[in-house]
Amino acid sequence: MSSSAPPHPGPPPRRALFVDRDGTLNPDLRYLREADKLELTRGVGDTLSLVREHGYLVVCVTNQSGIERGFYTDEDVARIHRRLNELLSPHRAKVDAFYYCPHAPEHGCDCRKPRTRLFEQAREEWNIEFGSSAVVGDRAIDVQAGRTLGLLTALVPPRGHEEEVRNEMKELGQYADIEAATFAAAAGRILARG
């Protein structure tokens, strides 16, 4: 190629909605192993469909320390993620990519939220622009990871745990850009940003 050739621009970066899994897409059943027990939280399917229509990739980043603890395996997690997309398909929605940390906190890895390695991996693999992307989660660690990366952050505390999550946030010195009672409401406010 001649040196006077214009630089190849490459495809423009995409925006993504990063979503937590347990407590956000599905009720948190604590160390869920069996895919057939998985349920979608009400409203999540139609909301993810809308989010994808607005041009967002949907990327799930989840801590699954149950793997290192021996409660379930990578195969179990893969089955759950396939099942999640099966449950989303009648809503014409899906999670485009799943990233999970298999480590226990004691491991000190750099992929367990609130650390950000999995988000950065997704950025490389999917050409994501953090500045126009957002994260939704049910815990302070989700917000903390999003803040570190410069994402718009949305917190949807699990029903009945609002006070607990508020205290978590206070302890970590975190605040979310958006706090909403439901996933749909949080996504609505993210999409309203344009």
Stretch (H or E) spanning 179 = strand 178-179
Residue 22 bears catalytic tag? yes
Non-local CB neighbours of 47 within 8 Å, separated by 6+ positions: 93, 183, 184, 187
Q: Which of 18, 23, 123, 169 binds Mg ion (CB under 5 A)?
A: 23
**Amino acid sitting at position 62:** T
- 178 scored as a contact of Zn ion (CB under 5 A): no
Choose which of 16, 58, 134, 138 interacts with Mg ion (CB under 5 A): 138
Least Cβ distance, residue 168 to Mg ion (angstroms): 11
Residue 146 binds Mg ion (CB under 5 A): no
Binding-site size, Zn ion (CB under 5 A): 5
Inter-CA distances, 25 with 22, 95, 105, 168, Å: 6, 10, 22, 20
Of these partners, Zn ion, Mg ion, none, which one is at the site of residue 112 (CB under 5 to 8 Å by kind)? Zn ion
Q: Is 36 a catalytic residue?
A: no
Tokens describing residue 73: 């395996």
Report if residue 20 touches Mg ion, rule: CB under 5 A: yes
Question: With the CA atoms of 64, 68, 69 and 75 taken in that order, what torsion angle do they form, in degrees rounded to the nearest 10?
Answer: 70
Among residues 21, 81, 112, 147, the one that binds Zn ion under rule CB under 5 A: 112
The reply to whether 115 sits near Zn ion by the rule CB under 5 A is: no
Residues within the interface to Mg ion (CB under 5 A): 20, 22-23, 138
